[in-house]
Amino acid sequence: MTRPIVYDATHLVSCGRAAGAAGIGRIDLSYAQHFAAHPRLSCGAHYGARGPHALAPSRLSRIVADVAPAAPDDSAEWTRLRGWLLGEEPTPIASAPAARDALGQFLWRAPLRLANDGPSPLPPNALYLNIAQHACEFPLLFRWLERRPDMRAVFFLHDLLPLDRPELFRRGYEALFRRRIDTILRHANALLTTSEAVAERLEREIVRKGARIPIHVEPPPSTQGEAMVARDEDLARCDYFVLVSTLEPRKNHLMLLNVWRALAAGPRPAPKLVLVGGRGWENEQTIGMLNRCEAIRPSVRWKSDLSDAALRRLLSNANALLMPSFAEGYGLPVVEALSLGTPAIVSDIPVFHEIARERALFLSPIDGLGWKRAIEDFSTTDSPRRLAAIDAARRFEAPNWTRYFERVEAFLDSL
Give the CATH number, domain containing residue 258: 3.40.50.2000
Q: Is residue 159 part of a domain?
A: yes
Q: Report the alpha-carbon distance of residue 158 to residue 156 in Å, rounded.
A: 6
pLDDT for residue 96: 40
In DSSP terms, 192 is beta-bridged to 156, 216
> How many other CB atoms are there within 10 angstroms of residue 375's CB atom?
23
State which residues form the domain around 337.
Answer: 233-394
Shared-domain flag, residues 112 and 207: yes
Q: 3-state SS of the chain?
A: CCCCEEEECHHHHHHHHHHHCCHHHHHHHHHHHHHHCCCCEEEEEEECCCCEEEECHHHHHHHHHHHCCCCCCCCHHHHHHHHHHCCCCCCCCCCCCHHHHHHHHHHHHHHHHHCCCCCCCCCCCCEEEECCCCCCCCHHHHHHHHHCCCCEEEEECCCCHHHHCHHHCCCCHHHHHHHHHHHHHHHCCEEEECCHHHHHHHHHHHHHCCCCCCEEECCCCCCCCCCCCCCCHHHHCCCEEEEECCECHHHCHHHHHHHHHHHHCCCCCCCEEEEECCECCCCHHHHHHHHHCCCCCCCEEEECCCCHHHHHHHHHCCCEEEECCCCCCCCHHHHHHHHCCCCEEEECCHHHHHHHCCCCEEECCCCHHHHHHHHHHHCCCCCHHHHHHHHHHHCCCCCCHHHHHHHHHHHHHCC
Asked if residue 114 has pLDDT above 70, the reply is: no
Mean pLDDT of 88-108: 53
Residue range 358-403, pLDDT digits in tens: 999 999 999 999 999 999 999 988 899 999 999 999 999 988 999 9
Could you tell me if residue 349 is inside a domain?
yes
**310 shares a domain with 190:** no
Flag whether 299 is in a domain.
yes
In a domain, 74, yes or no: no
Per-residue model confidence (pLDDT) at position 166: 94
- One domain, residues 204 and 318: no
- Give the model's pLDDT for residue 230: 62
Least confident range from 110-124, 201-215, 393-407: namely: 110-124
pLDDT class of 95 with cuts at 50, 70, 90:
very low
86 occurs within a structural domain: no
Angle at which helix 76-85 crosses helix 308-316, to 10 degrees, equals 20
**pLDDT for the residue numbered 359:** 95
CA distance 293 to 288: 8
Q: Which amino acid is at 205?
A: E
For residue 165, tell me if it sits in a domain.
Answer: yes
Q: Quick one: what percent of the chain has pLDDT higher than 90?
A: 62
In this structure, what is the dihedral angle of CA atoms 396, 397, 401, 406, given to the nearest 10 degrees? -150
Same domain, 177 and 258: no
Q: Are 159 and 331 in contact (CB under 8 A)?
A: no
Segment 10-21, tens digit of pLDDT: 888 887 777 666
Do 35 and 116 belong together in one domain? yes
Tell me which of 23-37, 84-98, 313-327 is least confident. Answer: 84-98
Sequence-distant (6+) residues with CB within 8 A of 215 are 190, 191, 192, 193, 199, 202, 203, 206
Please tell me whether residues 191 and 251 are part of one structural domain.
Answer: no
Confidence category of residue 222, pLDDT binned at 50, 70, 90 = confident
How many domains would you assign to the chain?
2
Local confidence band at 24 (pLDDT 50, 70, 90 cut-offs): confident
Tell me, yes or no, whether 32 and 122 share the same domain.
Answer: yes
C-alpha to C-alpha distances, 58 to 33, 42, 115, 163, 204, nearest whole angstrom: 12, 10, 13, 38, 40
User: Is residue 184 located within the same domain as residue 249?
Assistant: no
* pLDDT digit string, tens, across residues 176-196: 999 999 999 999 999 999 999
Say if residues 168 and 327 touch (Cβ distance below 8 Å): yes
* 116 and 195 both lie in a single domain: yes
Q: Residue 90 falls within a domain, yes or no?
A: no
Its pTM stands at 0.90
Query: In the prediction, which pLDDT does 99 show?
Result: 47
Rg (CA), the chain: 22
**Residues 67 and 26 sit within 8 Å (Cβ to Cβ):** no
Range in 129-133, 225-229, 310-314 with the lowest mean pLDDT? 225-229
Question: Percentage of the chain with pLDDT > 70?
Answer: 88
pLDDT at 71 over 70: no
pLDDT single digits (tens) 261-305: 999 998 999 999 999 998 888 888 899 999 999 999 999 999 987
